[in-house]
Structure 1
């Protein structure tokens, strides 16, 4: 029940949600298990740049080069390189497209079923990658890589609900899970280091993925034994809790939360009573929820709640959604194109295989480490700047990375990579924050999931861009990179311009509403 006028100014120290939770040891064990499998299975496909040299050395798709004439003398002919890159392209598409499906299954069948589906998918894909050299009636390597991409979101997103296993600490738990996801790309980096330094003699793909079968088995056992069969909370509720610190009963999850002081509660309650005495309406929100909404409205620059009461159809057909979808699609395409082609790009720019390999190795390490490093700074940005300011920073960093990526100077390339590995988690977090503020929590899972799904599907164009680089532009990545930078500039400018125009409109509406409310309060007094 929402809090009413009789709710104490300072909420009691006990939280009703805690009485429904398992013991502390069980909850800690659940979170630890989720962190372990997210670290190994949430998104290892994004470590493709580290895995690719092993695939080449192990002879994956080597037969393609034996049938294409003059190129056959090269270690990696054009057709083979494109085939390998296509594995990552499809994997990235499947990962993002799966997010929408996972949300629906999670809401209807719970986290246990969702996690088990992910474990089964990862187990089957590991078997395919393990036996890829002997399976001939279908492309086992491609199927296996797609399977990893498909299973990752199931085991990752099903873990989100654990954030509310510790009321008042949901943000910290979510940050840990997100950090584990970002670091999961290091799986193939570790494999490459072991493989190239022969730390484990002759660690072939077959041996590696035989050992990796332990991961899906671990996930399955955890799901059927210690993990909850029902979500502590839905993704939408968690999004609201993480943003406001308000639980489902309308009370702060942390009784000592400084955002909800007694004085501010009293002022808001008096104001609401005066308005309701004239309008004869009863708010369905607690005083704390109204304070949270007011704070978010101010912090977001006035865009918070702009589409909260609209239908899903109106939300996804609005300029807010369409413009963000266009911008997000271009960003995802740029990042994934770079991940798949970093070594060939560096070889073109520097005409030196040694330099290219060095930059590639640096990127392999920076990608997982950069995500962990960026998390606290991303939180500071989101907490202290308006949504438009955050997106403007995102836009400027994106353009800078694009320009740096076309400059054939080593220190510029290294700087661009450092910015990219920080930009990637910043981008995902900023888009999620935008969706929560603009579209609300009721349709958060569907809106955010569909945005990622559409962006993922359009990533199929990455294969076309990659092929054009190889065949039309003779390995020169500049035309494609320049195109993506220009599209970023246009889509970003359109999004920021629209948000700015809406901020102005919202500001005008706020002035009128405040004037009306002031008159109502004076009449009530």
Structure 2
């Protein structure tokens, strides 16, 4: 039984959810942030003509040319940025500026791709250096990104490319480090992981709050300066509420974490924090030897888990068939989701162009979309609960079959992956339903698409993280998840050419591209089907060969100390 105090465990969980909610996936709130950026005239056509010559500052002009419609037919009017949502602005004279929309779309494309691409380096650093060191580095980079954004001017609009990329990549690392909190909660592990992912997705609502504060009169610079100072909270949490390395699974006895954790009085001078790296067992052995307490019992047989048996090394995990089908499943649905967010404003403008007050309509739907993002944190546990409930159902069925003396259709070799089959099939269904709603060019139906998009995103990222937590050895979690995000980032770069295709070839109508994405989303059913047959193969192997075991030392003289060692490569 773990010695982690319950209040500390729950405080770690609550602050982890809040951290992902307030700092994690802010880039997902692009639909709201882009209004603020246009209010500051970043990349505006007027800045192309005058900004470089006159050094126009985004905070120095009280009356500027302000964009109020968000498409390749952007309208401009002479208004204060604080009146950006004024309905009368829609009646202003026209001044087209496709350059601004293209540049802002490119910023979002590169930043969102960077969020995924940097997951692999982040995962490698996480597995190598542990939680605390890499979180400190990520927190500092996050603060730098906020400072860069705060001091960006119209004349230096290109700085947004760097600041948004750094912000997105740093937020992604916060997610990776917080998903390990699930190891503190035993059989509720999947639920906790998906809840943390849901909080990360819901952080898009932060930029809606930023938009409202901006409209209320607070300067762009002051908002981002405040956020840069707030990153100090990330450093405090890294020190006191997270381990130096990683949370092990399962938790050893007498385990604790943080710089204020209680020391093991039975082993003076041997305050070693257990973790799942290769040196954990050796460090414990050396600590015991130095105190004259090392008396190792006989080696005993221990069953090798399915991930350890088939994917003992990182490279074997990368070469597995289910990894390739998972990349296809994840990349396509993620692209479907990001293309929706990246083209939201042009798309809404296209649908609202026949409306008498199209400007009001665009702003109203933008705010509705941003508000629905907040509910992602409520939708996320649904996927984890489904996986945990299905796993419990299969376990109960196995016990009943054993008591009845009949051969069960299931074995524990495929127990965790079978829950992924159910979750991934449901995610694909939601993706298809969402894509159908997006294709229908009727404005009120898009409220339904907002809801489906939030649920889809929560199911996608929560299920994605859980798959790597249960399907591969825990010591490769960061690297495998990072490789998955890295492959997805390459596919995400298709956003920008798809945007240009929509604006150029299809005259601003995203329907043809959305139809293509609908077909690709339907094809992602390949992944859960492959996993289903893979699980049947694992069950057959288990029945024919029985459980695989290895000899390893487990018991020490002090029975309250659990040595965490790695299974030797098979």
TM-score by length of 1: 0.73
Inter-partner Cα distance in structure 2 for 1:330 and 1:85: 19
Q: Following TM superposition, by how much is the alpha carbon of 1:170 offset from its aligned partner in structure 2, in angstroms?
A: 6.0
- Matching of residues 157-168 of structure 1 within 5 Å: 157-162=176-181
- Matching of residues 326-475 of structure 1 within 5 Å: 326-351=328-353, 352=355, 353=358, 354-369=360-375, 371-385=376-390, 386=418, 387-475=420-508
For 2:128, the equivalent position in structure 1 comes to 108
- Matching of residues 52-451 of structure 1 within 5 Å: 52-63=34-45, 74=94, 77-133=97-153, 136=156, 139-162=158-181, 174=193, 177-196=196-215, 198=216, 202-223=217-238, 226-227=240-241, 230-233=244-247, 237=248, 241=249, 246-248=250-252, 283-285=301-303, 305=307, 308-309=310-311, 311-351=313-353, 352=355, 353=358, 354-369=360-375, 371-385=376-390, 386=418, 387-451=420-484
Inter-partner Cα distance in structure 1 for 2:106 and 2:443: 27
CA distance 1:248–1:449, change in 2 (3 Å): farther
CA distance 1:64–1:338, change in 2 (3 Å): farther
Q: Which runs of 5+ in 1 are unaligned?
A: 1-14, 252-280, 294-303, 515-525
Q: Does 1:44 align with 2:63?
A: no
TM-score by length of 2: 0.68
- Matching of residues 14-29 of structure 1 within 5 Å: 15=1, 17-18=2-3, 21=4
Q: Does 1:494 align with 2:508?
A: no
Inter-partner Cα distance in structure 1 for 2:222 and 2:442: 39
Q: Following TM superposition, by how much is the alpha carbon of 1:169 offset from its aligned partner in structure 2, in angstroms?
A: 7.2
Report the count of equivalent residues. Answer: 434
Q: Following TM superposition, by how much is the alpha carbon of 1:350 offset from its aligned partner in structure 2, in angstroms?
A: 3.9
Mean CA deviation greater in 322-331 or 439-448? 439-448
Inter-partner Cα distance in structure 1 for 2:505 and 2:15: 48
Matched-pair contact (CA < 8 Å) for 1:34–1:159: yes
CA distance 1:392–1:154, change in 2 (3 Å): closer
SS where residue 283 of structure 1 aligns? strand
Inter-partner Cα distance in structure 2 for 1:409 and 1:470: 20
For 1:256, the equivalent position in structure 2 comes to none
SS where residue 443 of structure 1 aligns? helix
For 1:254, the equivalent position in structure 2 comes to none
Matched-pair contact (CA < 8 Å) for 1:344–1:356: no
Inter-partner Cα distance in structure 2 for 1:372 and 1:335: 17
Inter-partner Cα distance in structure 1 for 2:481 and 2:309: 14
Q: Following TM superposition, by how much is the alpha carbon of 1:511 offset from its aligned partner in structure 2, in angstroms?
A: 5.5
User: Considering only aligned residues, what root-mean-square deviation do their CA atoms show, in Å?
Assistant: 3.4
Q: Which structure shows the bigger proportion of residues in helix conformation?
A: 1
CA distance 1:307–1:24, change in 2 (3 Å): closer
Matched-pair contact (CA < 8 Å) for 2:73–2:97: no
CA distance 1:191–1:409, change in 2 (3 Å): same
Partner deviation per Cα, 1:101-120 (whole Å, 9 max, x = no partner):
22222232232221221121
Q: Following TM superposition, by how much is the alpha carbon of 1:97 offset from its aligned partner in structure 2, in angstroms?
A: 1.7
SS where residue 47 of structure 1 aligns? helix
SS where residue 284 of structure 1 aligns? strand
Inter-partner Cα distance in structure 2 for 1:381 and 1:113: 35
Q: Following TM superposition, by how much is the alpha carbon of 1:40 offset from its aligned partner in structure 2, in angstroms?
A: 2.2
